[in-house]
Structure 1
């Protein structure tokens, strides 16, 4: 019984894997996951117009918005990331 309780305690303290996150984040959620969720995709389109329809967006599927900020600092500003996070926080990740 003690081993079961200890195992449950260790499991409860372990961080959730990315696929089990309760919410999305511009710094931890891959763009592909955001694109695959229609509500999250709408948030991207709202704050970064044209991103979801860009011919090269598939190349960024394994990156986060924070990762690609360096390639488009004028469009993906810290303010934009904060606004994206605020809207993503209202969604439940799939």
Structure 2
């Protein structure tokens, strides 16, 4: 099941990556930093920060420890949910979001 998810995630990331690069607009210099969330923060960003990686690992240990998950780094956990809805549930995403909301906003 996870292997199927990773293949689908890779395909989806390959298709959407060029679109998101072209659609991105530079942020204003004075714009406040965005809070982290499962619907707006890439999985790769969450994995790169030890604090947020620990939060994600707490709720999704099998997902984080899978060596093929690197292919889904450009996706959000909300996007990953569509490929692994039995593991990445709304309840789990809510718990992760609640813990992410407690963290100081990144600059």
- Settle same-fold status: TM greater than 0.5: yes
Q: Which residue in the other structure is 1:90 paired with?
A: 102
Deviation per CA, 1:44-78: give whole Å up to 9, x if none. Answer: 10011122221111101100000010111011111
Give the corresponding residue for 2:82: 70
| One of 47, 50, 54 as aligned partner of 1:42 | 54
How far apart are residue 90 of structure 1 and its match?
A: 1.2
Structure 2 counterparts to residues 1-94 of structure 1, below 5 A:
20-21=33-34, 23-94=35-106
Q: How far is 1:91 from its partner? A: 1.5
Residue segments in structure 1 that go unaligned for 5+ positions in a row: 1-10
Change (3 A) 1:58 1:93: farther
Gap change, CA 1:92 and 1:55, over 3 Å in 2: same
Q: Which has the larger radius of gyration?
A: 1
Q: C-alpha distance in 2, partners of 1:37/1:64?
A: 15
Size of the aligned set, in residue pairs, is 79
Q: Give yes or no for contact 1:24–1:92 (8 Å, CA) kept in 2.
A: no
Aligned-residue Cα RMSD (Å) equals 2.0
Shift of 1:93: 4.8
Structure 2's unaligned 5+ residue stretches are 1-27
